[in-house]
Amino acid sequence: MNEYNRHMKRTNLMLNEDTLETATRLLGAKTYSEAVNTALEQAIQLHYMRGLADMSGRGVWEGELSEMRDDKSTKRKKRPAKKR
């Protein structure tokens, strides 16, 4: 039993023949079903990845990093220049 027979739903689809042939070739699929399943999986992954990218830099964290670390580096005195 291959991975596509475990939890599958049988359905009839009207697909563009040229698109299906191209997808099958580009995805390296052995069957049309494998090509369609791979394309669907990649579409889902792409959707989630876009969602993660949309979240970057949006209110995830607000604050001052040096304060959070209790970092005193911003208050340090400058060292005198070294003599040559």
pLDDT digits over 20-77, tens only?
Answer: 999 999 999 999 999 999 999 999 999 988 887 666 666 666 777 777 777 666 555 6
Give the pLDDT score at 12: 94
Residue 41: domain span = 16-55
* Residue for token pair 């209110």: 59
Residue 29 lies in a domain: yes
Residue 77 lies in a domain: no
Note the pTM of the prediction, 2 decimals: 0.56
Residue 74 lies in a domain: no
Residue 44 lies in a domain: yes
Q: How many domains does the chain have?
A: 1
Distance CA 29, CA 78 (A): 64
Q: Please, which residues have CB within 8 angstroms of residue 29's CB and are 6 or more apart in sequence?
A: 23, 35, 38
Give the pLDDT score at 35: 97
Residue 33 lies in a domain: yes
